[in-house]
Amino acid sequence: MKIAVVSHSCVVAINRKIYFELAKFRDIELTLFAPSYWKSDIRMKIERADESEGEKGRIIYINPYFAGNGSLYFYEYRFKKELRAIKPDIIFIDEEPWSLSALQTVYFSSIFKPLILFYTKQNIYKRYPFPFNQTQKYIFHSAVKGVAVSRECETILRRHGFNKNINLLPHAVDTANFCRKESNKLRGQMGLKGFIFGYIGRLTREKGLLTLLEASYILKNRQVSPSPLPIAMLRSNGSPSSPQRGEGWGEEGFKILIVGDGYLKNEMNMFISKRGLEDIVIIHPSVPHNSVSEY
């Protein structure tokens, strides 16, 4: 069986790992289509990642137009030739159903009629203008089923009128890398003590980071654990006691570690300075994808 995956996130080697699990099956011939480069609001340009050792499958890099825009980017004409040369039985489109890359994938493959699946992460309902609304209808009509990352995304698909089967596929986690590790060295290097709240990702407004900073200001002044049932607040019989000022964090208190970069960084730093949170909040520059698990 020939399976093709179209995904702009696969420009990064670590994001390809989940798909190459498929290639371990002898009856599957896997091909990944990914942009030859990608721009982001963290790094201006991510060059094509080298194939990781141990990857089993074929990767075809295609030059993109509008690289960096998940909905507007699409591939140069060579994509059509490569896709039709392979003639996959199944195409998994790891893009939103209104995107131009999904449109060209379905249109270019219509001549050999593969089974089409798309993968959505959209959890906020929006009405899309022309031509995106028509693109979405076309993808809905062509797909045999949808794949959603969460129940919220499934609900949004239904609101947009998708009436076929939907499978849930949450984001994968490599538990060999993302597991409990010795952290004393990193804590010492970064001056981290007490209870640590962590965030890794883009510093953009929609991530709710200003809300996080506002919450840290409130917690700093209260010095009380936010959980209604924190372990420190449980009596010996397991029933909750009422938290008092100064309880919950212990003598070392808490800190917030934020790892990432983005356009919101300056505004966040001003907020931190204005509210006197320098001793609570640490903003660390972005790290490579394969180093995230160290934090």
pTM reported for the whole predicted model:
0.77
Helices (H), 122-233: 132-142, 151-159, 184-190, 209-222
What contacts 160, CB < 8 A, 6 or more positions away? 125, 136, 140
Euclidean distance between the first and final Cα of the chain, in Å?
Answer: 39
Do you find a cis peptide bond into 131, omega within 30 degrees of 0?
yes
Does residue 285 or residue 222 have the better pLDDT?
285
The Cα–Cα gap between 244 and 238 comes to 18
The answer to whether the beta carbons of residues 98 and 139 sit under 8 Å apart is yes
Instruction: Write the single-letter amino acid at 155.
Output: T
Helix axes 100-109, 78-86, angle to 10 degrees: 50
- Residue 148 has what pLDDT? 97
The Cα–Cα gap between 24 and 19 comes to 10
Q: Give the pLDDT confidence of 21-45 residue by residue, as tens digits.
A: 888 898 999 999 999 988 876 654 5
Task: Kindly tell me if the per-residue pLDDT of 108 is higher than 70.
Answer: yes
Q: Give the pLDDT confidence of 174-224 residue by residue, as tens digits.
A: 888 787 877 777 777 777 888 888 899 889 898 999 999 999 998 888 755
Structure tokens at 193: 């003590």
Q: Give the pLDDT confidence of 57-101 residue by residue, as tens digits.
A: 688 999 999 988 888 999 999 999 999 999 999 999 999 999 999
Ordered structural domains, the chain, with CATH? 2-168 (3.40.50.11930), 184-294 (3.40.50.2000)
Burial class (CB in 10 A: 0-12, 13-18, 19+), 294: exposed
Q: Which residues of 189-222 are buried (b: 16+ CB within 10 A; e: fewer)?
A: eeebeebebebeebbeeebebeebbeebbebbee
**Cβ–Cβ contacts within 10 Å for residue 33, how many?**
26
The secondary structure of 54-72 as a DSSP string is T--SEEEEEPEESTT-TTT
Element (H, E) at 265: helix 265-275
> Between the ranges 50-59, 224-233, 244-253, where is the mean pLDDT highest?
50-59
Determine the average pLDDT of the residues in 219-240: 50
| Beta bridge partner(s), residue 258 | 199, 283
